[in-house]
Structure 1
Amino acid sequence: MPIAVFTKNSRPRLGKVFGDALIDLSVAAPDLPDSIIAFLKAGAPARASYDKVTRDSGELIPLTDVTLQAPVPQPEKFLAIGMNYADHGEEAKKLGVEVPPYQLWFNKQVSCINGPFDDVVSPKVTEKLDYEVELAVVIGKTCRYVSEEDAASVVGGYMVSNDVSARDWQLRTGTMTLGKSFDTHGPIGPWLTLPDEIGDPHDLRLRTFINGEVRQDGNTRDLIYSIWQQISYLSQVMTLKPGDILATGTPSGVGVAMNPPQFLRVGDVMRVEVEGLGHLENRVIKDRG
Structure 2
Amino acid sequence: MKLLSYEFEGASRLGALVDDGVVDIGRRLGVNSLRHLLEAGKLGAATELVGAQPDHVLGDVAFLPLIPDPAHFYCVGVNYADHLKEVQDAGIVRPKPKHPSLFPRFPESLVAHDRPLQIPKVSDEFDYEAELAVVIGKGGRYIDEADALNHVAGYTCFNDGSVRDWQYHSSQVTSGKNFWQTGGLGPWLVTADEIPDPGCLDIKLLLNGKTLQDSNTRHLIFNVAQIIAYASALIPLKPGDVIATGTPSGVGFSRTPPIFMKAGDICEVQIEKIGTLRNTVEKAVG
Q: 1:288 to 1:153 in 2, by over 3 A?
A: same
Structure 1, gaps ≥5 residues long: none
Superposition deviation, residue 59 in structure 1: 3.2
What number of residue pairs does the alignment pair up? 284
Q: How does 1:124-203 map to 2 (within 5 A)?
A: 124-203=121-200
Q: Deviations over 1:123-165 (max 9, x none)?
A: 1111211000000011112200011101011112111000000
Match of 1:34 in 2: 32
Residue in structure 2 matched with residue 276 of structure 1 by the alignment: 273
What is residue 77 of structure 1 aligned with on the other side?
A: 72
**1: CA distance between counterparts of 2:270 and 2:19?**
16
Q: Quick one: structure 1 residues 215 and 68, their matched pair in 2 at CA, closer, same or farther if it must change by over 3 Å?
A: same
Letter in 2 for 1:109: F
CA contact (8 A) 2:18 2:54 kept: no
Q: Sort the Cα spacing of 1:174 and 1:37 in 2 relative to 1 into closer, same or farther, 3 A.
A: same
Q: What CA distance in whole angstroms lies between the structure 2 residues aligned with 1:194 and 1:164?
A: 25
The alpha carbon displacement at 1:189 in A equals 0.8
Counterparts of 1:92 and 1:48 in 2: how far apart (Å)? 42
Q: How far apart, CA to CA, are the structure 1 residues paired with 2:215 and 2:166?
A: 26
- The offset of 1:283, in angstroms, is 1.1
Distance of 2:235 and 2:47 partners within structure 1 = 32
Quote the offset at 1:60 in angstroms. Answer: 5.3
Deviates more, 1:105-114 or 1:125-134: 105-114
Which residue is equivalent to 1:48? Answer: 44
Q: TM-score when scaled to structure 1?
A: 0.94
Q: State the shift of 1:78 in Å.
A: 1.2
Question: 1:63: which partner in 2?
Answer: 58
Instruction: Give the Cα separation in 1 of the matches to 2:47 and 2:169.
Output: 48
Deviation, structure 1 residue 278: 1.6
How much does 1:31 deviate? 2.8
Instruction: Show the counterpart of 1:11.
Output: 11
Structure 2 equivalent of residue 259 of structure 1: 256
Structure 1 residue ranges, 4+ long, deviating more than 6 angstroms after superposition: none
Q: Secondary structure at the match of 1:12?
A: strand
- The letter for the 2-side match of 1:74 is D
SS at match of 1:80: strand
In the TM superposition, what are the counterparts of 1:102-117 in structure 2 within 5 Å?
Answer: 102-117=99-114
The alpha-carbon deviation at position 215 of structure 1 amounts to 0.4
**Distance change >3 Å, CA 24–CA 262, structure 1 → 2:** same
